[in-house]
A and B are shown apart, each in its own frame.
Chain A
Amino acid sequence: MHDFAWVTSPDLVPTVRKFRHTEMEANERPDRHHPLREVTVILLTQPQHDNMIDRYFDATFKALRYYGEWYGEYPYDAITVVDPAMRSASGGMEYPTLFTGGTNRYSPKEASSPEGVTVHECGHQWWYGLIGNNEFEEAWLDEGFNTYSTDRVMKTGWGPFKASRYFFGGSGGGAYVGIPYVFDEIDQSSLGPGNGELRRYGKNDVMVRSGWEYYQTYGLNSYTKPALSLVTLERYLGEEMMYRVMRTYHHRYRFKHPTTEDFIRTVNEVSGKNMSWLFANTWFSSELFDYSIDRINNRRIPTPTGIFSSNGKESEPAPATKTYECEVVVKREGEVTAPVDILVVFKDGSLRREGWDGQYRWKKFTYYTDSPVSYAIVDPYMKLAMDINYNNNSKAVREPGYRSLAARKYASKWMFWVQNYLEFAAF
Chain B
Amino acid sequence: MNIMSSFKQGVKLASRTKRMILFAWFANVLIALVLAVPALKQLDGYLRDTVMDEKILQQMDPAWMDSYRVDMEKSDHTRALDYTIFGYAPFINHLEMQMNGTFIKTLGGFLYDLFVRWELNAGPTSLLFFLSLLYVVVNTFLTGGFIGIYAKDYRSSFPEFLMDGARYFGKFFRLALLALLVYFIFFSVVLDWVNNSIYQWTQNDASETVPYLYYMIRNVVVLLLLSLLFMIFDYARIRMVVDDRTSALASTAAGARFAVPHFVKTYGLYLLLTAFGVLLIAVYAILEKWIPQESYWPLVFLFILQQFYMVARFWLKATFYASQVTMYRTVSQQEHLKSVSVVPSTT
Q: Digitize A407-427: 1 where CB-to-B-CB distance is under 8 Å, 0 elsewhere.
A: 111111111111111111111
In the complex, what residue of chain B is closest to A103 when comparing beta carbons? Answer: B208
Q: Tell whether A87 is near chain B: CB-to-CB under 8 Å.
A: yes
CB-CB contacts of B59-76 with A at 8 A, as 1s and 0s? Answer: 110111111111100000
Residue pair A422, B131 in contact (C-beta under 8 Å):
yes
> Which of B163-171, B194-202, B240-248, B328-336 forms part of the interface with chain A?
B194-202
Complex Cα spacing A168 to B198, Å:
14
Taken together as a complex, chains A and B put the C-alpha atoms of A184 and B338 apart, in Å, by 58
Q: B207 an interface residue at 8 Å Cβ cutoff? A: yes
Report whether B51 and A377 are in contact in the complex, using a CB–CB cutoff of 8 Å.
yes
Contact string against A for B residues 3-45, beta-carbon threshold 8 Å, 1 for contact and 0 otherwise: 0000000000000000000000000110111011001100110
Across the interface, do B51 and A411 meet the contact criterion of CB distance under 8 Å? no
Q: Are A405 and B299 in contact (CB under 8 A)?
A: yes
CB of B1 to closest CB in A, whole Å: 27
**What string of 1s and 0s marks CB contacts (under 8 Å) between A100-116 and chain B?**
00001110000000000
A77-98 to B contact mask, C-beta < 8 Å, 1/0: 0000000011110000000000
Instruction: Say whether A173 faces chain B, with CB atoms less than 8 Å apart.
Output: yes
- Whether A165 contacts B32 in the complex (CB less than 8 A), given A405-B299, A411-B43, comes out as no
CA distance A199 to B199 in the complex (A): 36
Q: Which residue of A86, A105, A396, A406 contacts B57 across the interface (Cβ within 8 Å)?
A: A406
> Is A212 interfacial (CB 8 A cutoff)?
no
Question: Do residues A411 and B36 form an inter-chain contact, with CB atoms below 8 A?
Answer: yes
Do A48 and B48 touch (CB < 8 A)? no
21 A–B contacts, CB within 8 A, in A order = A163-B62, A167-B96, A168-B96, A170-B218, A172-B215, A173-B211, A178-B212, A187-B62, A195-B63, A395-B50, A396-B53, A408-B299, A414-B78, A417-B81, A417-B84, A417-B90, A425-B97, A425-B98, A426-B139, A427-B136, A427-B176
A25-33, A122-130, A386-394 - interface stretch:
A386-394
Contact of A418 among B32, B91, B92 (CB under 8 A): B32
Query: A181 at the A/B interface (Cβ < 8 Å)?
Result: yes
Also in contact, A414 and B36, with CB within 8 A (given A48-B208, A88-B206): yes
Q: When the two chains form their complex, are residues B62 and A375 in contact, meaning their CB atoms are under 8 A apart?
A: no
Is there a chain A Cβ closer than 8 Å to B46's Cβ?
yes
User: B93 within 8 Å of A by Cβ?
Assistant: yes
Known contacts: A425-B132, A427-B104. The answer to whether A185 contacts B299 by CB under 8 A is no
Q: Which of these, A11, A402, A426, contacts B48 with CB under 8 Å? A: A402
A residues less than 8 Å from B53 (CB atoms):
396, 404-407
Would B36 and A172 count as touching, CB distance under 8 A? Answer: no
- In the complex, the answer to whether B206 meets A185 with C-beta atoms within 8 Å is no
Q: A106-B208, A168-B216 are in contact. List 16 more A-B contacts (CB 8 A).
A: A48-B208, A87-B204, A172-B208, A185-B59, A185-B87, A186-B62, A375-B51, A391-B64, A404-B44, A407-B48, A407-B53, A410-B43, A414-B85, A415-B35, A419-B310, A425-B136
Question: In the complex the two chains form, what is the Cα distance from A181 to B87 in whole Å?
Answer: 10
| B258 interface hit (Cβ, 8 Å) | no
Contact of B70 among A200, A402, A406 (CB under 8 A): A200
In angstroms, how far is the closest chain A Cβ from the Cβ of B276?
15
On whether the beta carbons of A11 and B215 are closer than 8 Å, the reply is no
> Which residues in B have some Cβ–Cβ distance to A below 8 Å?
28-29, 31-33, 35-36, 39-40, 43-44, 46-54, 56-57, 59-60, 62-71, 78, 81, 83-87, 89-99, 103-104, 128, 131-132, 135-136, 139, 176, 179-180, 183, 195, 198-199, 202-209, 211-212, 215-216, 218-219, 230, 233, 293, 295-296, 299, 302-303, 306, 310, 313, 317
- Residues of chain B contacted by A199 (CB below 8 angstroms): 67, 70
- A413-B86 in contact (CB<8A): yes
Please determine whether B83 and A165 come into contact, CB atoms closer than 8 angstroms.
yes
Q: How far is the CA of A423 from the CA of B52 in the complex (A)?
A: 33
A317 close to B (CB within 8 Å): no
Q: What's the least CB distance linking A164 to chain B, in Å?
A: 9
Q: Is the CB of B29 within 8 A of A419?
A: yes
Mark each residue of chain A from 155 to 184: 1 if its CB lies under 8 Å from any CB of chain B, else 0. 000000001010111111101011001011
Residue on B with the closest CB to A393?
A: B50
Bound Cα distance from A172 to B207, whole angstroms: 9
CA–CA, A194 and B230, complex, Å: 44
Count contacts on A: residues with CB < 8 A to the other chain: 74
Residues of A within 8 Å of B303, CB to CB, are 412
Cα distance, A408 to B41, chains bound together (Å): 9
Residue among B67, B131, B183 with the highest chain A CB neighbour number at 10 A: B67
Residues of A within 8 A of B212 (CB): 105-106, 169, 172, 177-178
Contact of B206 among A86, A170, A404, A417 (CB under 8 A): A86
Residues of chain B contacted by A392 (CB below 8 angstroms): 50
B32 near A46 (CB under 8 angstroms)? no
A168 x B99 contact (CB < 8 A): yes
Q: Which of B60, B93, B207 contacts A167 (CB 8 A)?
A: B93
Residue of B nearest to A389 (CB): B67
* Residues of chain A within 8 A of B104, CB atoms compared: 427
> How near does chain A come to B83, taking the closest CB pair, in angstroms?
5
CB-nearest residue of chain A relative to B34? A418
Question: A188 an interface residue at 8 Å Cβ cutoff?
Answer: yes
Contact indicator B208/A104 (Cβ below 8 Å): yes
Q: Does chain B have a CB within 8 A of A189?
A: yes
Asked whether A171 and B62 contact (CB < 8 A) given A406-B54, A411-B39, the answer is no
Please give, as numbers and ranges, the residues of chain A lying within 8 Å of B59 by CB-CB distance: 185-187
The answer, yes or no, to whether A398 is at the interface (CB within 8 Å) is: yes
Q: How far is the CA of A417 from the CA of B208 in the complex (A)?
A: 31
A345–B132 alpha-carbon span in the complex (Å): 47
Residues of chain A within 8 A of B66, CB atoms compared: 193, 195-196
Q: Which residues in window 334-371 of A have CB below 8 A to B?
A: none
A168 neighbours in B (Cβ, 8 Å): 95-96, 99, 215-216, 219
With A46-B206, A391-B46, A419-B310 as contacts: A186 and B78 at CB distance below 8 Å = no
Residue A14 CB within 8 A of the other chain = no
Q: Is A403 an interface residue (CB 8 A)?
A: yes
- A169 and B215 within 8 A (CB): yes
- What chain A residues lie within 8 Å of B139 (beta carbons)? 426
Q: Which residues of B contact A183 (CB under 8 A)?
A: 83, 86-87, 89
